[in-house]
Structure 1
C-alpha cells in the first residue's frame, strides 16, 4: 500500500511539474509589433496533404489533392 501511494504521489508531482513548466514561457518579445517567421519574410507557407489516390478510398482522396494544388 505504501508503494502504491508513493508511486501515485510521484505521478501527480510529475504531472504538476510538467503543467507548470508548460505554462511558463520566454518573454522575448521586442514590443515593436514585428512579425516573425516565413510569412513575414514574404516566403510561401507550404502545406502538406496526405490523401489516398488509389485503392478503395481513392475516389475521395483524388479530388482533395487536386483541390489543394489548384
Structure 2
C-alpha cells in the first residue's frame, strides 16, 4: 500500500480497497490529518456511519466529524 503522502498528493482518483473494517477509523483519521483539508468518506450504511463517527475521535479527537444520514427514500422516488 502506498504511504499517506502518496495518497494525499495523487493527481488522479484512487480507490483503497480490502481495508479491514476495524482498521478504517485509524486510516481515515490519519488521512484526514495528513490532508490538512476537508475530507469526505461515504459509509455503506447508517450503522457503518455511526461506528466510524464513534471511533474516529479515539484516534483523532481534534477532528470535527459531520454526519449526514442517509435519506429515507429509494432513488428516483
TM-score range, shorter chain: under 0.3
TM-score, reference length from structure 1: 0.25
Tell me: higher relative CO, structure 1 or 2? Use CA pairs within 8 A at least 6 residues apart.
Answer: 2
Higher radius of gyration, 1 or 2 = 1
Structure with greater helix share of residues: 1
- TM value normalised by structure 2: 0.23
